[in-house]
Amino acid sequence: MILVLLLGALVGAVLGLTGAGGGILAVPALVAGLGWTVQQAAPVALIAVAAGAATGAVEGFRQGLVRYRAGLLMAALGVPLTGVGAWLAHRIPTDWLTGLFGITMLIVAFRGLHRASQAPEDSRLLPRCSVNPATGRLVWTPASVAVVGGIGMVTGLLTGLLGVGGGFVIVPALRRFTSLSMHAIVATSLFVIALTGCGGVLTALWHGAILPPAVTWPFLGAVVSGMIAGRLLAQHLPGAQIQRGFALLVLLIGLSMIAKAL
């Protein structure tokens, strides 16, 4: 039980610090800590990460940071694809799925290290979805709808397939393709993770997933508590240090997942 609480608190803290990455750490934490397979760990990780993200999203709404139209668009296109991802997850051999998870973590880690070494102004392309200075709202065009919708679809597929929240896709994509502030990106990411995570959990249950109460609820409570602590701590730490530390942690865990698959 103590191990479950510690793992949940770590995952929640990462989610609170980065607005991403909690889901991609939750599954390996349960796999390594409890000896589960990715298929067993995914729904438990997802329900905990969705609850933690919802906690952060509520705070974002109170501060007026959540871009709810963009979030709803991503969730509307992403949630249906969680079913596709869950269907694939039950048809891919366990070792292959573990290896795929490890490769995904390596990609996230190397992208994070690269971004941490860049100047903020160098890390963006010309925004496809800009904020109107007069209203503070996103300007919607066919290109911006396609970009935001595409982000949601990729997020939904990975949510169903790997049991991750998808913040590691949402945050860098919104950072690159929009002119939103980082605070707004993190808050919006948490909102989308909460919605797609709930969709992913329901899809997993539909496919016969089991949520052991003795692990699920303590893990969920620890993630939410860690999430709150991480959000408070994030206000006092430089963003580049957070990003670099997270990338190194993901790199080490990704390598261990690939070793386990081999």
Instruction: Tell me: pLDDT of 126 over 60.
Output: no
209: left (phi over 0), alpha (psi -120 to 50) or beta: beta
Q: Give the per-residue pLDDT at 228.
A: 84
For residue 15 the two structure tokens come to 């989610």
- What pLDDT, on the 0 to 100 scale, is given for residue 123? 46
Q: pTM for the complete prediction?
A: 0.78
pLDDT score at 239: 65
* Mean pLDDT (whole number) for 156-180: 82
Q: What is the pLDDT of residue 95?
A: 86
Give domain limits for the chain: 2-261
Between CA 178 and CA 114 the distance in angstroms is: 19
| pLDDT tens sequence across 64-117 | 889 899 999 999 999 899 889 888 888 888 888 888 888 888 887 887 777 666
Tens digits of residue pLDDT in 197-221 = 888 888 888 878 788 888 889 998 9
Q: What contacts 149, CB < 8 A, 6 or more positions away?
A: 73, 74, 77
Say what percent of the chain tops pLDDT 90: 9
